[in-house]
Every structure is written in C-alpha cells, then in structure tokens.
C-alpha cells in the first residue's frame, strides 16, 4: 500500500478547497479576455503568447463558460507545478521537502495561480519543470537534461514573456559554475537552446506575421508608458509581494539574498544556493530596477518564488512555515469575505458586477443594436462572454484595441447602425446622470442620446456603475477597415 505523507494530504485538501472557491465566483475580465483569445485560435496573441488560450479551447466552446470549467484549467496547471516543486524540494531541501512545498503552496500567490485562469499558470508549471531539469544538468551533471530543460523553457515562453528570466538565470549559472563553464564546450546546452527555439516557434511566427506587434507592445510599448524615476512604484511592488507571498517569507528570502551577495562575489556560495539565487534573486534585481521607472505588475515576479520559497525553506527552520501559514490565513480570510460579501467598495473594476452588466446590457439593446466600450478590454470581453451581446472595443473610436484589432473586424460594416456606448465608472457608487459623453465618442455618432447609467447592486448598495450613451448613426473613423 502506498503511504501518502501528511503534508501531501494537506496539500491535496488545500487545492480542492481552492477549486471549490473558484467554482463559486463569476468569471473575471482577464479570464473573459483569454476566452476571447481561445475563440479566435492563433499561434500567439497581441498581449501574450498562446499557451493559456490553447488550454482554454474546450471551456471556450460553452456560452457562457461555466466558472468550474474555466478554473479547472489553472487547477491542473497548479498540480503540475506542485509535482515539480516537490521534486525540486527533495533535491534542494532534503531535510524538510514537505514543509518547503507547503511554504509555497500556502501563499496567496499560489491561490491566485490555482483559482484564476491567467497566463501565469502555464508559465509557472513549465518554469518549475525547467528548473527541475536545469538542476539535473547543473547540479548533478546529467547532460541529457538540457533537452527537456530547453523544451520546458520554451513552453514557459509560449505562456508569458517573463520566461526570459529562465534564460537569464541559466546564463548566469553557465558563467559562474565550473560545471557550467565546462558544459559550454559540449553540444548539450546548445541542443537545449535549439529545443527551446523549436518550442517557441509559434510565438516567433505569429510576431513575424504581425510586424512584431506583441514583442513591441511588451517592450517599447512599456517603455513609452514609463513615468520616470519614482519610489512609489518600488514600494508598490514590495507591498504587492508582501500580500502575495506574505511578510515572513518575503523577509527571510530578502535576508538570505542580501547575505548571499558577498559570498557570491567571492565565489563561496554553494552550487545549490547559487542555483536558487539565479532563478529568484537575479530576476528580482531586474524587476526592482524596472520598478524605479515603471509599474511592475504584482504577478510578474510570481515565477521567482518557486526558487525563492525553496531558498527560504532551506535556510530557515519550521517557524517560517508556521508564521507564514498564520499570515496566509489572515490574508485569505479578508480576501474571501471581500470576494463574496464585498463589504468594502474598493472602486475596483475586476471582481464584481459583470454578470449583471451583461443582463442589463441585453435589456437595453434594441433590435440590430450593438454595445461598445473604450476601456482596455474588460467591458468588451465580459459582454462577449456568453455570446448573446454583439460587442466591440475602442477600435470603433479609432483607438488601439489590443487583440480586438486583430480578429478581422469590418468596422465599416457598422456604419449607420446604433450602438450603446458603456463607460466603466468604478469609483462612483450612485445612480446619477451619465453626464456629457466622452470627447472621443462625439465625432463617431450622428446623434448622441444620454442614457441612465447601468448600476449593479448588492442588496441596497450600489457596487458598480457604468455610464451609458446611445450612439445613433455610428460613423467609423477614417481609414477604418472596410472603408
């Protein structure tokens, strides 16, 4: 009879609870947007590569997709991640592999990875197994491990471009580890790089076919929106990580990273710790530097916590897991109360109100009318979710519309029709008039009729508000497709 260790039973129970939670709240705009991806199959997409969209192909066939069907996808990716983390922990934290796995698995970050269908889920699953095979190659001298390591790194890049940190970390180890420098003279790391290149071919092909749109958006486009040096971005990054991985883990990892710098410079850091530093401390340095001039989103550092949690577990006793679990319980309790009861109106445009918005929009639209919006993607993606609303993005105003620009929309075919324009107004909680229309809407309509706002209520409280105008006689922008 197979003996299942206690920590593994706790882990299974924890993940099943997360799956149940994921089945109980509505699909959020990010997921709706990636389901839009999945309904337009492609080698890659404007904002991200295609791995998550490919994985969502089956639930995307449902109209509307069931939350449990969508959340089963990140749940399965999380299971793959945990299998890899357990393998790494047995190699790198041999004295206490179970607590090391639980240290990562009990964080808020891992709840996000399990419960919400984001590109980070396939990214971190592939990232973790790339680390497994790179550990075989760098620490145990298994040269053939370079091939699956390259394949997994490529699959990680097919999920999200932050997988580039895998190649950066591997490059650091190739230069700093004696075994790494020796293996450079063999074909194995180059064959691994070839495997990565073949795995990432869909991303390169799609970008080449679309004037490198995705690469430019995620590089030059981000630089254009940088606001200059600001300590607030750095503080925001640190605060977000304190919430996601909890202060005890963040503190211990930071302490170890600082203490490792002089040993790294002297060449005195053990190979196992240098390995963990290459895939946690090195990407953290890059993100910290970027945060001085631009906003680093809270989920960008998530992959580094695979190695980061193992490093902290390796250098601390059981107290770290205990204190992190206490902090995790408090954070999860607050989040669950807010998610399901919403006692504090956050002025957020992610978590509440979308199902009601779709229902109200359907009721407002007359025969032959469509809906459109000018936020990045959230309102349009949610309106499209169940297939009952004809909805469009801000390309109808002549503005860039991310993936909505790339699905072959004939904007000219909408000329003369009537559309309901919706403007998300997340920081107002009243049913007052919509007011004057946005300036960008005025030239696009022969006549504009102000409508009462669409409001979402929890009980008697208004928790979301969308301003609305009816655009009679839509006028496509000059040069729009179809004109």
Residues 200 and 264 both lie in one domain: yes
* Whether residue 271 sits in one domain with residue 409: no
Tell me, what's the pLDDT at 459?
86
Higher pLDDT, 98 or 220: 98
Residue ending a domain, choose from 307, 341, 375: 341
Task: Give yes or no: residues 327 and 429 share one domain.
Answer: no
Sign of the CA dihedral 157, 42, 405, 37? Answer: negative
Give the tens place of pLDDT for each residue, 111-138. Answer: 999 999 999 999 999 999 999 999 999 9
- For the segment 208-220, the average pLDDT, to the nearest whole number, is 91
Identify whether 32 is part of a domain.
yes
When the pLDDT of each residue in the chain is averaged and rounded to a whole number, the result is 93
- Say whether pLDDT at 427 is over 70: yes
pLDDT of residue 442: 96
How sure is the predictor about 225, in pLDDT bands with cuts at 50, 70 and 90?
low
Please identify, among 293, 316, 341, the residue that sits at the C-terminal boundary of a domain. 341
Please check whether residues 174 and 254 belong to one and the same domain: yes
Looking at the fold, whether 328 and 364 belong to one and the same domain comes out as: no
| pLDDT recorded at residue 480 | 62
Residue 382 scores a pLDDT above 90: yes
Residue 1 within a domain = no
Q: Is residue 215 part of a domain?
A: yes
> Mean pLDDT across the stretch 244-267?
93
CA-to-CA distance for 97 and 63, rounded, in angstroms?
Answer: 43
Q: What percent of the chain shows pLDDT beyond 70?
A: 96
State how many domains the chain has: 2
pLDDT for the residue numbered 273: 95
Identify the weakest region by mean pLDDT among 15-24, 55-64, 217-226. Answer: 217-226
Same domain, 289 and 364: no
Confidence class for position 372, pLDDT limits 50, 70, 90: very high
Q: Where is average pLDDT lowest: 226-240, 246-260, 420-434? A: 226-240
Is 124:303 a contact under the CB 8 Å cutoff? yes
Of 298, 320, 341, the one marking the end of a domain is 341
Q: What confidence score (pLDDT) does residue 228 get? A: 65
Residues 190 and 299 occupy one common structural domain: yes
Average pLDDT over residues 103-116: 97
Look at residue 322 and tell me if it is in a domain. Answer: yes
Query: What pLDDT score was predicted for residue 238?
Result: 95
Segment among 28-42, 153-167, 343-357, 421-435 with least mean pLDDT: 343-357
**Cα 169 from chain centroid (whole Å):** 21
Residue 243 and residue 119 in one domain: yes
Residue 456 has pLDDT above 80, yes or no: yes
Kindly tell me if the per-residue pLDDT of 224 is higher than 60: no
What's residue 227's pLDDT?
A: 61
Q: How many CA atoms lie within 13 A of 300 on its CB side?
A: 21
Q: Give yes or no: residues 203 and 294 share one domain.
A: yes
Say yes or no: 364 and 318 in one domain: no
Q: Is 348 part of a structural domain of the chain?
A: no
Q: What's the pLDDT at 356? A: 94
The answer to the question of residue 174 being in a domain is yes
Q: What is the domain extent for residue 24? A: 6-341
Mean pLDDT of 268-275: 94
161 pLDDT band, cuts 50/70/90, is: very high
Domain assignment of residue 437, yes or no? yes
State whether 20 and 115 are in the same domain: yes
Residue 14 resides in a domain: yes
**222 confidence band (pLDDT: 50, 70, 90):** low
Distance of CA 189 to the CA centre of its chain: 29
So what's the pLDDT on residue 376? 86
pLDDT value of residue 1: 42
Q: Are residues 380 and 331 in the same domain?
A: no
């Amino acid at each position: 009879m197979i003996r299942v260790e206690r920590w593994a039973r706790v882990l299974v129970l924890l993940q099943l609870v997360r799956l149940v939670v994921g089945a109980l709240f509505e699909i959020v705009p990010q997921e709706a947007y990636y389901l839009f991806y999945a309904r337009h199959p492609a080698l890659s997409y404007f904002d991200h590569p295609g791995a998550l969209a490919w994985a969502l192909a089956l639930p995307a066939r449902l109209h509307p997709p069931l939350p449990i069907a969508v959340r089963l996808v990140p749940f399965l990716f999380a299971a793959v991640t945990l299998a890899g983390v357990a393998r790494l922990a047995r190699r790198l934290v041999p004295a206490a592999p179970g607590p090391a796995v639980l240290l990562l698995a009990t964080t808020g970050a891992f709840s996000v990875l399990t419960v919400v269908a984001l590109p980070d889920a396939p990214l971190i699953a592939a990232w973790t197994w790339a680390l497994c095979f790179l550990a075989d190659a760098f620490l145990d001298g298994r040269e053939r491990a370079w091939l699956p390591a390259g394949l997994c790194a490529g699959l990680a890049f097919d999920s999200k471009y932050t997988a580039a940190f895998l190649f950066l970390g591997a490059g650091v180890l190739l230069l700093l580890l004696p075994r790494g420098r020796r293996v450079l003279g063999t074909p194995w790391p180059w064959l691994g790089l070839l495997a990565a290149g073949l795995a990432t071919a869909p991303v390169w092909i799609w970008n080449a076919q679309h004037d490198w749109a995705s690469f430019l958006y995620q590089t030059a486009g981000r630089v254009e929106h940088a606001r200059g040096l600001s300590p607030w971005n750095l503080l925001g990054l640190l605060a977000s990580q304190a919430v996601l991985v909890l202060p005890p883990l963040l503190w211990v990892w930071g302490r170890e990273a600082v203490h490792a710098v002089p040993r790294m410079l002297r060449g005195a850091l053990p190979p196992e710790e240098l390995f963990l530093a290459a895939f946690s401390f090195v990407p953290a340095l890059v993100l910290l530097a970027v945060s001085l001039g631009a906003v680093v989103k809270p989920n960008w550092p998530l992959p580094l916590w695979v190695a980061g949690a193992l490093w902290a577990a390796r250098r601390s006793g059981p107290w770290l897991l205990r204190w992190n679990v206490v902090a995790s319980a408090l954070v999860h309790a607050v989040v669950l109360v807010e998610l399901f009861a919403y006692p504090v109106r956050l002025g957020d445009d992610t978590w509440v109100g979308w199902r009601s918005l779709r229902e109200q929009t359907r009721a407002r639209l007359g025969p032959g009318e469509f809906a459109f919006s000018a936020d990045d993607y959230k309102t349009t993606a949610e309106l499209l979710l169940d297939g009952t609303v004809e909805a469009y993005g801000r390309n109808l105003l002549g503005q860039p519309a991310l993936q909505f620009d790339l699905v072959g929309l004939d904007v000219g075919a909408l000329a003369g029709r009537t559309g309901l324009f919706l403007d998300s107004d997340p920081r107002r909680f009243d049913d007052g008039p919509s007011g004057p229309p946005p300036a960008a809407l005025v030239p696009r309509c022969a006549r504009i009729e102000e409508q009462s706002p669409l409001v979402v209520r929890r009980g008697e409280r208004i928790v979301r508000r969308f301003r609305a105008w009816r655009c009679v006689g839509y006028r496509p922008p000059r040069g729009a497709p179809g004109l």
